[in-house]
């Protein structure tokens, strides 16, 4: 079925199709972004009804690699991320990066006409990503079961704080509380002070990564194995909890509760943050005996390689403070540049603790094009992280930052769903779009 076929079959009162929506290469919302450029997800249509960070990050990853992502926002304020800081000239600096390469339309999903148009969008889509609190989409008649009656091949990725099941499913889900609930916050900070929260939206970003992974896995299964869509349930807290795998075994097998110690966990020595002679902080980790042996040679302490107190990692861990004192003293006698040169030469992993200013000045970041600048209608050029991963044959690209609300109402509602200009204007007057 072509896009024209979708336009005819999904008009109100027209038959809903269960055929696979064949929009690969058809004229649509993605082609002006990806004309002449073969992104690996080109031809995949995504309806994005997400807000804030986790859901938008998931669909951002898909959009960067060619998926046609149609971002649906409620009329009025739109995505709440548009109103959170940091700001420049009153504009959110988060929103342009999290929503780049997407099309922006508005629909009041709580209004019957808005819900009907949303169902038509989903009838011609491959994937829906939503991060409303569990049960909200069902109350609007837009739950996965409702939408997949029109389009059995539709994949639905649902991102929430605590998942779609369980006694906490209805709790408000935000990343920082979810990180605490997951057990990570308990480990952060010093033993004599309260726990510290992660200073970035870690749980949200991890959930976005899992959401994008879930989308790819389920789309692959649909197309290569099953022939139909399915629902993926991603929670913020489980996205963090999954990183704590060693803690689970520590407690489950040995009954040990790991506590805050102010630096890295106790699995390797030396491992931690140290200061150089010119006042820079560095992180050094020797996770294997081979790496430690290189370090010992480099710092002029080859005796530690055979000394029974330090000759194995298990023994060094028991004498962590002694080892840290030896390594720390060597680093304090040298500048960052000298320490880096000597340890790089022997293959010992040392890294400066970079500020964002250090990152902007770093030659490696520049060579890898890790920071890109994207046009913004009011702020000019806005820097943001570049593309990850790098693909040799079908690389991603960044064409534009997050668009203003309703930017593509006419293109999507008119060009994709076939509404006339008068119909769109009537919807606009009534607050449906």
As annotated, the active-site residues are 204
Long-range (24+ apart) CB contacts under 8 A made by 90-94 are: 91/376, 91/378, 91/379, 93/382, 94/53
| 228 Cβ neighbours under 8 A, 6+ residues apart | 152, 153, 222
Euclidean distance between CA atoms 107 and 406, whole angstroms: 9
| 162 Cβ neighbours under 8 A, 6+ residues apart | 168, 169, 171, 173, 178, 181, 235, 236, 237
- Residue pair 155/126 in contact (Cβ under 8 Å)? The answer is yes
- Residue pair 232/211 in contact (Cβ under 8 Å)? The answer is yes
Euclidean distance between CA atoms 155 and 261, whole angstroms: 43
Q: How many Cα atoms sit within 13 Å of 25 on the Cβ side?
A: 1
First to last CA, the chain: 27
- Residue pair 44/30 in contact (Cβ under 8 Å)? The answer is no
Other Cβ atoms less than 10 A from the Cβ of 220: the count is 11
Least Cα distance to 32 among 401, 399, 409, 405 occurs for: 399
Containing 47, the helix (H) or strand (E) segment is: strand 45-49
Least Cα distance to 151 among 129, 126, 131 occurs for: 126
| 105 Cβ neighbours under 8 A, 6+ residues apart | 70, 71, 72, 73, 406, 408, 409, 412, 413, 433
SS3 17: coil
The DSSP code sequence of 83-127 is G-SSEETTEESSHHHHTTT-EEEE--TTSHHHHHHHHHHHHT-SE
């Amino acid at each position: 079925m072509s896009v024209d076929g979708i336009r005819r079959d999904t008009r109100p009162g027209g038959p809903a199709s269960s055929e696979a929506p064949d929009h690969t290469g058809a004229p649509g919302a993605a082609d002006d972004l990806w004309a002449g450029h073969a992104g690996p997800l080109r031809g995949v249509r995504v309806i994005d009804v997400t807000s804030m960070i986790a859901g938008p990050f998931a669909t951002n990853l898909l959009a960067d690699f060619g998926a046609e992502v149609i971002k649906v926002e409620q009329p009025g304020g739109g995505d709440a991320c548009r109103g959170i800081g940091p700001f420049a000239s009153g504009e959110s600096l988060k929103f342009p990066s999290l929503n780049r390469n997407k099309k922006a339309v508005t629909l009041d999903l709580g209004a019957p006409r808005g819900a009907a148009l949303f169902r038509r969008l989903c009838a011609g889509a491959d994937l829906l990503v939503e991060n409303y609190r569990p049960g909200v989409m069902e109350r609007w008649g837009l739950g996965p079961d409702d939408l997949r009656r029109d389009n059995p091949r539709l994949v639905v990725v649902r991102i929430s704080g605590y998942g779609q099941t369980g006694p906490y499913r209805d709790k408000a889900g935000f990343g920082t509380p979810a990180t605490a609930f997951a057990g990570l916050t308990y480990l952060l900070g010093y033993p004599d002070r309260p726990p510290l929260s992660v200073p970035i939206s870690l749980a949200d970003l991890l959930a976005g990564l899992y959401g994008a992974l879930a989308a790819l896995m389920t789309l692959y299964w649909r197309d290569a194995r099953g022939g139909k869509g399915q629902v993926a349930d991603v929670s913020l807290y489980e996205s963090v909890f999954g990183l704590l795998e060693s803690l689970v075994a520590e407690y489950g097998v040995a009954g040990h509760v790991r506590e805050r110690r102010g630096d890295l966990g106790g699995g390797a020595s030396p491992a931690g943050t140290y200061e150089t002679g010119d006042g820079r902080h560095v992180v050094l980790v020797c996770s294997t005996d081979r790496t430690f042996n290189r370090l010992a040679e480099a710092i002029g302490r080859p005796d530690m390689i055979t000394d029974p107190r330090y000759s194995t990692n298990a023994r060094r861990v028991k004498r962590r403070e002694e080892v840290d004192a030896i390594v720390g003293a060597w680093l304090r006698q040298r500048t960052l540049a000298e320490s880096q040169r000597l340890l790089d030469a022997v293959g010992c992993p040392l890294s400066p603790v970079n500020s964002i200013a250090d990152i902007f000045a770093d030659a490696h970041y520049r060579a890898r094009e890790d920071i890109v600048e994207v046009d913004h209608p009011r702020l000019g050029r806005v820097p943001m992280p570049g593309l990850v991963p790098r693909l040799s044959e079908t690389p991603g690209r960044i064409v534009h930052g997050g668009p203003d609300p309703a930017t593509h109402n006419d293109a999507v509602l008119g060009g994709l769903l076939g509404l006339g200009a008068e119909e769109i204007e009537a919807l606009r007057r009534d607050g449906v779009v």
